Amino acid sequence: MRNVFSLLLFLSLISCKGQNSATTASKIGPDEFQKAIEAGNVQILDVRTAGEYQNGHIKDALQADMRNMDEFANRVQHMDKTKPVYMYCLVGNRSAYAANWMRENGFSAVVELQGGINAWKMYNKPVEGATGEPQITMEQYLSSIPTDKTTLVDFGAKWCPPCVKMEPVINELKTGKEVDFNLVKIDGGVQTNLMAELKLEPIPVFIIYKRGKEVWRKQGVVTKDELIAQLK
């Protein structure tokens, strides 16, 4: 009986410990947050909307809108669950919700910026903003696609986790000898008008043109073999 009681007590302690680690938020101020991300080997995640992100964000931050759970879940699945995630929103509410979701879904270390990017700015920390790059017109876009060569158009952004995952695949494909093609890269986070005109879904999106005509498009992560098959 005594052994049974000891076992139940042990299991109870383990259960409580697991629940606490899953629900206890780890939050730090701007100074500590900056030191941690500058030390490297972390992932930075902005859980605000794409519009908020473009109006000012922390350097090297990825973006996944917490208010759009389909987009959020799709993007963060391409992040490394074993590598620390340092996240923020505007003031801290959305990041708290996002942090709990990520902990419950297998991310080992999630740290929130106390007070969000508002606090970051109050501490005069560096922020990157919109580039001011002009919008590409449909005419300009189509003129960039040669009619005598197969062309792969890559709509992505450096803050989009699946786009970052696709970057080495595209680079390997371009430097390889499996297939000859022309590559056009479009920043989908900046060229929002063109994205709307082409009726593109969330990035990344890949479109292939042959003889100047669209023959294939796909949204999301694509394998190198699938791209080669479509480009041939």
| The two structure tokens encoding residue 43 | 């992932």
How buried is residue 120: exposed, middle or buried, by Cβ count under 10 Å (0-12/13-18/19+)? buried
Q: Is-contact 220 156, C-beta < 8 A?
A: no
Q: Is-contact 61 148, C-beta < 8 A?
A: no
CA distances to 48, 91, 131, 132 from 55, in Å: 11, 15, 9, 10
Residues with catalytic roles: 160, 163
Q: Nearest CA to 202 among 211, 212, 192, 210?
A: 192
CA distances to 84, 102, 126 from 37, in Å: 10, 19, 12
How much helix, strand and coil, in percent to the nearest 5, is found in the chain? 45, 20, 40
